[in-house]
């Protein structure tokens, strides 16, 4: 993935506790293209005083323009500090490093698409709606939020008329997903991004749907799932670029061992959900414990998330 | 012949108008959901799901092809009610 130098060009309060940042290339050049559902890793604060850099993922929610990206960030006082940093410190002119874009939540071709957004989960779905509006697909966006004042992009979404259903909890309660998802529909993809409650409800309703029909993007790392139980075992990691060999003992992650050895690896969630620490595997067979890679990518074994994934054999060779 | 649907036509019409987001005055028994009222296939699914929920009936998904206007919806609900 490309490393980029960005600069904040514009900052706008677009809803209660939500700021939108328009980002451009620091050198004024073109930015890489992206597709709806994509996110970027932003290095909000560089490593200093022995602290690891503050890296967060944000969905690109702007028009697919080549000279600017747009992200929207909800202030989460109980969060781990990324959103507070964005709200308090990022101003027009602030420079920051980025990696990406990467798309783990792509829009696929289908006759029908149902988009379910909760709160700031609208961000990856907004460009999807924009794209769907240009195709002949039947699509619907159900967008739930605490109150209209807290919901970003209501103005832009008004352009899509009846395709978009806005459900403000303080007026109408929670959105009714049952009428759209109550029965499996052929050739229909469901995209869901929002808080855990919304995703759980979508998963419950889509249980009878074909596998893969529902795709979710989570805000928070999902604890536990995808991580097989059972004891870890130790193994050796060889760094191909330097020839160094490191021992990863049971109970420590590859990432921890790499960081302790001073090897620079970007990471963010440290729980196998964000994809930031994806590292190329040159030899050996990874034991995947992340939620980023798809089945085919897992089987391929060419990359791994070093924050949670381990090794099936005694040795892994990484492209580091 | 009075039927269960006869009594519920008004209710069905209300559900349909609600989902199509149109005024009851805009719809007739034979105006077409798709061609006259701009409904897409998802709108039809919502109509079906709401009818099932409101009337406690089960409507086969294949009936979507028939549910093109109010008159046909009355018939589909009537048949579904007769079966249950």
Mutate to test the interface with B, among A138, A139, A158 (most CBs of B within 10 A): A138
Query: Taking CB atoms and an 8 Å cutoff, what residues of chain A touch B61?
Result: 183
Q: Could you tell me the residue range of the domain that residue B64 belongs to?
A: 4-83
Domain A235-318, second-level architecture: Roll (3.10)
Yes or no: say if A220 and A146 are a contact pair by the CB < 8 Å rule: no
Identify the top-confidence range among A7-16, B16-25, B49-58. A7-16
Task: Say what the pLDDT of residue B30 is.
Answer: 95
CA angle B15, B66, A207 (to 5 degrees): 70
Report the residue of chain A nearest B47, measured CA to CA.
A179
* Region of poorest pLDDT, from A5-19, A117-131, A134-148, A249-263: A249-263
Domain A112-218, second-level architecture: 3-Layer(aba) Sandwich (3.40)
Query: Taking CB atoms and an 8 Å cutoff, what residues of chain B touch A183?
Result: 45, 49, 61
What's the rounded mean pLDDT across residues A229-234? 60
CATH code for the domain in which residue B49 is found? 1.10.1200.10
Strand partners, A144: A118, A167
Query: Taking CB atoms and an 8 Å cutoff, what residues of chain A touch B46?
Result: 179-180
Q: How many CB atoms lie within 10 A of CB A149?
A: 12
Peptide bond into A101 cis (omega under 30): yes
Query: Taking CB atoms and an 8 Å cutoff, what residues of chain B touch A138?
Result: 40-42
Query: Taking CB atoms and an 8 Å cutoff, what residues of chain A touch B65?
Result: none
Task: Say what the pLDDT of residue A47 is.
Answer: 73
**How close B3 comes to chain A (CA, Å)?**
26
What's the rounded mean pLDDT across residues A265-292? 87
Task: Say what the pLDDT of residue B3 is.
Answer: 57
* Region of poorest pLDDT, from A16-25, A115-124, B1-10: B1-10
Q: Which residues of A touch B (CB under 8 A)?
A: 111-112, 114, 138-140, 162, 178-180, 182-183, 185
Task: Say what the pLDDT of residue A316 is.
Answer: 93
- Unique residue bearing structure tokens 């990206």: A69
User: Between chains, do A138 and B38 touch, taking CB under 8 Å as contact?
Assistant: no
pTM for the whole structure = 0.75
**How close B29 comes to chain A (CA, Å)?**
22
According to the 3-state scheme, what is the secondary structure of chain A? CCEEEEEEEEEEEEECCEEEEEEEECCCCCCCCCCCCCEEEEEEECCECCECCEEEEEECCCCCCCCCEEEEEECCCCCCCHHHHHHHHCCCCCEEEEEEEECCCCCCCCCEEEEEEEHHHHHHHHHHHHHHHHCCCEEEEEEEECCHHHCCCHHHHHHHHHHEEEEEHHHHCCCCCHHHHCCCCCCEEEEEEECHHHHHHHHHHHHHCCCCCEEEEECCCCCCCCCCCCCCCCEEEEECCCCCEEEECCCCCHHHHHHHCCCCCCCCCCCCCCCCCEEEEEECCEECCCCCCCHHHHHHCCEEECCCCEECCCEEEECC
**How close B44 comes to chain A (CA, Å)?**
10
* Region of poorest pLDDT, from A21-35, A152-166, A212-226, B57-71: A212-226
Q: Where are the domains of chain A?
A: 3-101, 112-218, 235-318
Report the residue of chain A nearest B62, measured CA to CA.
A185
Average pLDDT, chain B: 89
What's the rounded mean pLDDT across residues A136-151? 94
CA angle A285, A287, A293 (to 5 degrees): 100
User: Between chains, do A180 and B50 touch, taking CB under 8 Å as contact?
Assistant: no
Both tokens assigned to B29: 């028994």
- Unique residue bearing structure tokens 């960081």: A259
Phi and psi of A209, rounded to 5°? Answer: -85, 160
Task: Say what the pLDDT of residue A271 is.
Answer: 82
CATH top class, domain A3-101: mainly beta
Task: Say what the pLDDT of residue A14 is.
Answer: 97
Does B40 lie at the interface with A, CB-CB under 8 angstroms?
yes
Tell me if ipTM is over 0.85.
no
User: Between chains, do A138 and B42 touch, taking CB under 8 Å as contact?
Assistant: yes
pLDDT of A233 over the 80 cut: no
Report the residue of chain B nearest A115, measured CA to CA.
B42
Task: Say what the pLDDT of residue B83 is.
Answer: 84
Higher pLDDT, A104 or A291: A104
pLDDT in tens, B49-83: 999 999 999 999 899 999 999 999 999 999 998 88
Residue B46 is nearest to which of A111, A139, A180, comparing CB atoms? A180
Report the residue of chain A nearest B60, measured CA to CA.
A183
CB pairs under 8 A between A and B: 28
Q: Which residues are CB-contacts of A48 (< 8 A; sequence separation ≥ 6)?
A: none
Say how many domains are in chain B.
1
pLDDT in tens, A184-231: 998 999 999 998 889 999 999 999 999 899 999 987 543 333 333 345
User: Between chains, do B61 and A178 touch, taking CB under 8 Å as contact?
Assistant: no
């Amino acid at each position: 993935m490309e490393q980029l130098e960005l600069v904040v060009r514009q900052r706008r309060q677009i809803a209660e506790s939500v700021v939108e940042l328009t980002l451009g290339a620091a050198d004024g050049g073109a930015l890489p293209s992206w597709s709806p559902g994509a996110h970027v890793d932003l290095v909000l604060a560089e490593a200093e005083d022995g602290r690891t850099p503050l890296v967060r993922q944000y969905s690109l929610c702007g028009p697919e323009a080549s000279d600017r990206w747009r992200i929207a960030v909800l202030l989460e006082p109980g969060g781990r500090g990324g959103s507070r940093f964005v709200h308090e410190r990022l101003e027009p002119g602030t420079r920051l490093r980025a990696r990406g874009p990467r798309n783990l939540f792509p829009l696929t071709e289908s006759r029908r698409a149902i988009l379910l957004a909760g709160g700031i989960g609208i961000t990856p779905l907004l460009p999807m709606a924009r794209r769907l509006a240009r195709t002949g697909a039947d699509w619907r966006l159900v967008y739930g939020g605490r109150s209209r004042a807290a919901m970003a992009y209501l103005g832009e979404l008004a352009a899509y008329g009846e395709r978009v259903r806005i459900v403000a909890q303080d007026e109408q309660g929670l959105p009714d997903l049952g009428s759209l998802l109550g029965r499996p529909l052929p050739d229909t993809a469901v995209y869901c991004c929002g808080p855990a409650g919304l995703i759980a409800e979508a998963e419950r309703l889509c249980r009878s749907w074909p596998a893969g029909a529902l795709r979710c993007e989570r805000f928070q790392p999902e604890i536990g799932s995808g991580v097989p139980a059972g004891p870890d075992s130790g193994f050796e990691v060889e760094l191909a670029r330097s020839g160094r060999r490191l021992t990863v003992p049971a109970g420590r992650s590859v990432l921890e061992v790499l960081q302790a050895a001073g090897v620079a690896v970007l990471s963010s969630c440290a729980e196998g959900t964000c994809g930031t620490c994806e590292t190329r595997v040159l030899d050996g067979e990874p034991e995947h414990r992340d939620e980023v890679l798809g089945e085919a990518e897992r089987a391929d074994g060419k990359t791994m998330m070093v924050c949670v994934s381990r090794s099936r054999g005694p040795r892994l060779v990484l492209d580091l | 012949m009075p039927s269960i649907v006869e009594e519920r036509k008004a209710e069905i019409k209300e559900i349909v108008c609600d989902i199509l987001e149109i005024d009851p005055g805009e719809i007739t028994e034979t105006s077409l959901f798709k061609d006259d009222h701009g409904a897409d296939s998802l709108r039809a699914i919502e109509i079906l799901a709401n009818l099932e929920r409101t009337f406690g009936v089960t409507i086969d998904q294949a009936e979507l092809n028939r549910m093109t206007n109010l008159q046909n919806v009355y018939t589909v609900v009537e048949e579904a009610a007769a079966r249950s």
